[in-house]
A and B are shown apart, each in its own frame.
Chain A
């Protein structure tokens, strides 16, 4: 079976930086997976995600989408970014337009869709993210949670097969987080793959079907949450042991 998205042995060093940010990172995502990516600050999560849709180009290694090796020509980048959607921690970095509806329409129009088709995509994505009522509002008058949902709608309007979110749930209140997770659930139910990079361990334990741990530019552990959170070697390596010790009881109950 070919993976939906495959990043194979990626190496990347930022210009002018002494140590590599990615040092042989490998990750395969299949259709319909719910993945949580964890790791200390600076372990390379964001850098890995920036490779997933061709923003960064690995100095060594190869990215595959649906069995196709990706090239960095303008035309294939467009197709690539249609299939792999990326959202970031700060919605203000993504929303460039003062009009919510116009901002969401940006991706679909870049795919070369007609205005009519783009309009339908906007309506559908807004509905999916619960922002239909906000379409006429100015972007800067939205709350943080509303901005996050609009940013998500802007990506979903491109109808990606894989959605990767880089700490997009940080800074949200618990209720808003539940709303976003419900949206992610819905995407997974449609056969799409969702990966969340997060420091939210309870979420990793309860929501994820698979937890991937990064350290030092590499994927150091990968498996179902009950394995990851009970393997002492992995926990120590990623500095998670202290947190997990506190929450030990809950993990035991998940195990059973």
Chain B
């Protein structure tokens, strides 16, 4: 999360209007879901990964790592679709092998369905990664504000986002302090230490929120967190690229 967040603030598409980047991601996700051919998902993955690397300047290794993690997760998730498990050998179109009393089998149809699911989900994931790695949360919040989301929800998102990092930092410090007193030396101690850490973190968050309330009131807080909107740039080249992505996905779908 900290890694993704760092690139979200430091990439070449940082100052592009979040609406534009979101529109591109939504377009690709929509097409991946509508056009049900495995090739579409793969091409979308290549496009979005490529855009994140080439246009936004996020390193290959980072984009690859995030995508790989999602890919592994997806493959595990579709095992149940691709393979079937039974106590007797399955009928012909299935190819199968035996593990103990269990027969594990799959047929061409189930394999291609699994492949379609993975490629489709991967395309969507790559589009989401593009958005996550190029657009800080504050920009997405700005977009939500323009889309007339209730201000209370928006303020909540903002403060929670800020608190996640504050608590994360606090948690790391407490964890180090516990470690240096052998808090994680045995499994038993580890269990106890993490329990203490969690309860302490809760109290901490509560006290902190009280202090934040005080500090906000000092600056004239009366119930809503009004701040200046950010200034964004519209990027014509990104729109052209978006059109290219969309039409190539349609072409791939037509030809496969």
Question: Across the interface, do A106 and B162 meet the contact criterion of CB distance under 8 Å?
Answer: no
Task: Give A140's nearest chain B residue, CB to CB.
Answer: B165
Given the complex, which residues of B lie within 8 Å of A82, measured CB to CB?
Answer: 220
Question: Across the interface, do A86 and B225 meet the contact criterion of CB distance under 8 Å?
Answer: no
* B158 interfacial contact with A, CB 8 Å: yes
Interface bits B207-241 vs A (CB < 8 Å: 1, else 0):
01001101111111110011111100000000000
Question: Across the interface, do A118 and B228 meet the contact criterion of CB distance under 8 Å?
Answer: yes
Question: Across the interface, do B208 and A102 meet the contact criterion of CB distance under 8 Å?
Answer: no
If A88-B215, A98-B161, A103-B227 touch, does A111 touch B166 (CB 8 Å cutoff)?
Answer: no
Interface of B is mostly: helix
Picked from A99, A102, A110, A138, the residue with its CB within 8 Å of the CB of B219 is A110
Given the complex, which residues of B lie within 8 Å of A154, measured CB to CB?
Answer: 219
Question: Across the interface, do B217 and A137 meet the contact criterion of CB distance under 8 Å?
Answer: no
Given the complex, which residues of A lie within 8 Å of B46, measured CB to CB?
Answer: none
Closest chain A CB from B146 CB (angstroms): 15
Interface residues on B, range: 20 to 34
* A211 interfacial contact with B, CB 8 Å: no
Question: Across the interface, do A88 and B211 meet the contact criterion of CB distance under 8 Å?
Answer: yes
Question: Across the interface, do B138 and A102 meet the contact criterion of CB distance under 8 Å?
Answer: yes
Question: Across the interface, do B217 and A55 meet the contact criterion of CB distance under 8 Å?
Answer: yes
Task: Give A121's nearest chain B residue, CB to CB.
Answer: B228
Given the complex, which residues of A lie within 8 Å of B216, measured CB to CB?
Answer: 94, 96, 106
* A107 interfacial contact with B, CB 8 Å: yes
Picked from B9, B161, B218, the residue with its CB within 8 Å of the CB of A141 is B9
* B192 interfacial contact with A, CB 8 Å: no
* A155 interfacial contact with B, CB 8 Å: yes
Picked from A94, A99, A102, A122, the residue with its CB within 8 Å of the CB of B212 is A94
Picked from B218, B220, B227, the residue with its CB within 8 Å of the CB of A99 is B227
* A97 interfacial contact with B, CB 8 Å: yes
Closest chain B CB from A94 CB (angstroms): 4
* Alpha-carbon distance A99/B158, docked complex (angstroms): 10
Closest chain B CB from A233 CB (angstroms): 35
Picked from A96, A107, A136, the residue with its CB within 8 Å of the CB of B158 is A96
Given the complex, which residues of B lie within 8 Å of A158, measured CB to CB?
Answer: 219-220
Question: Across the interface, do A141 and B137 meet the contact criterion of CB distance under 8 Å?
Answer: no
* B71 interfacial contact with A, CB 8 Å: no
Given the complex, which residues of A lie within 8 Å of B158, measured CB to CB?
Answer: 96-98
Interface bits B1-33 vs A (CB < 8 Å: 1, else 0):
000011001000010000000000000000000
* Alpha-carbon distance A122/B227, docked complex (angstroms): 11
* Alpha-carbon distance A82/B222, docked complex (angstroms): 13
Question: Across the interface, do A97 and B162 meet the contact criterion of CB distance under 8 Å?
Answer: yes
Question: Across the interface, do A95 and B218 meet the contact criterion of CB distance under 8 Å?
Answer: no
Given the complex, which residues of B lie within 8 Å of A237, measured CB to CB?
Answer: none
* A252 interfacial contact with B, CB 8 Å: no
Question: Across the interface, do B212 and A96 meet the contact criterion of CB distance under 8 Å?
Answer: yes
Interface bits A158-175 vs B (CB < 8 Å: 1, else 0):
100000000000000000
Closest chain B CB from A18 CB (angstroms): 21
Question: Across the interface, do B225 and A81 meet the contact criterion of CB distance under 8 Å?
Answer: no
Question: Across the interface, do A98 and B136 meet the contact criterion of CB distance under 8 Å?
Answer: yes
A-B contacts besides A109-B228, A154-B219, 11 pairs, CB < 8 Å: A74-B222, A88-B215, A92-B208, A93-B215, A96-B162, A97-B225, A110-B220, A118-B228, A140-B165, A140-B169, A158-B220
Chain B residues within CB distance 8 Å of chain A: 5-6, 9, 14, 136-138, 158-159, 161-162, 165-166, 169, 208, 211-212, 214-222, 225-230
Q: Which 5 A-B pairs have the closest CB atoms?
A: A110-B220, A102-B227, A105-B228, A140-B165, A94-B215
